[in-house]
Every structure is written in structure tokens, then in C-alpha cells.
Amino acid sequence: MEKLEFTINYETYHNLAELSDEDRLLCEKAEAALSTSYSPYSKFKVGNAVLLNNGEIVLGSNQENVAYPSGLCAERVALFGIGAKYPDAVISKMAITAYTDQFKIEQPVTSCGACLQVMAEFEQKQNTPITVLFYCIGGKILKVKGIKSLLPFLFVENRLSVGA
């Protein structure tokens, strides 16, 4: 038996003022994306802003459906849109935030496992790490470089790739 350990490196910021201009803009765009959230069931809005290497910022928001499994998280809305509209673009970073009027969100909200797996696929496809900012409106921001830090046992099977 061998006992192993993961170490995750990330940065914590206390507010938007501590961020670089680019990171602050991305968080503000994620907050603006909340306005397009369709979340009549959970009343929990999630916004995402993704910066591409061509300078384009793509927004996404969660889209619910009365048949719950049919909805989609903000991250996957943005990422699948990027795959369809900018198939060769490289994602450099993304910011994710959430809001509800049901209670005060006091910590950054992180992505679900399904979104992390999709993020990991994009990262593997582009062979470049994606920086993720988890932004709590009016509060702390977590900054992580690379999806593997967030999902260390991500599913990868290169033999399933085309031409393998």
C-alpha cells in the first residue's frame, strides 16, 4: 500500500479591489450574467464569464427546466456556446458567481462535478490550464489555476479520442 496526498494551490482575495483589472472585469461580467439566469425553481442564479485568448468574453447563466435534469449550469452554458461558436479558441480564465434573494451567500460558490469535468475536457483539448475565479459578491474571491486542482481524479481516457 502507498499513501498519497494532494496539495491544492490557490489564492484568496478579500474583495474585488485586490484583483488585477482583468480579473475584476471578469468577475463584474459574471455578475452581469446573473441577469439572464432562468431559475424560477431554485431561485439561485449563477453567472459565468469566460475570457478567450482572442480577447472575447463569453457569458453564461444557469438555465433551469421544470424537468430538473433538463436544465444546465452557467459554466456548461458558456462552455458549450464557446465550443459551437469558437471551436479553436483557447480559454484563459473564467469567473463564476451566484446570487439568491432567499439568503446571503457568504462564501464563493464552486462548480459542480459535471461542470468541472466539462471544464477539464476543454483544458485537455487546448493543452493549457484554465484559471478559475470563484467570486462571492461583496466578499471573498478564490483563484485556482488548472482544473485538475479542483477535480484531481478527472475522467480521462485517451483511447476514446478520434484517431486513437
pLDDT of 78-125, one tens digit each? 999 999 999 999 999 999 999 999 999 999 999 999 999 999 999 999
The domain 20-155 belongs to what CATH superfamily?
Answer: Cytidine Deaminase, domain 2 (3.40.140.10)
Q: Tell me: the pLDDT tens digits for 64-76?
A: 999 988 999 999 9
Domain extent listing, the chain: 20-155
Note the pLDDT of residue 163. 58
Q: In 3D, which of 43, 144, 28 has the Cα closest to residue 97?
A: 28
Active-site amino acid positions: 75
pTM: 0.93
- Which of the pair, 69 or 145, is modelled with greater confidence? 145
In the chain, what percentage of residues exceed pLDDT 90?
87
pLDDT tens for 42-56 read: 999 999 999 999 999
Write the secondary structure of 11-62 as one string of H (helix), E (strand) and C (coil).
EEECCHHHCCHHHHHHHHHHHHHHHHCECCCCCCEEEEEEEECCCCEEEEEC
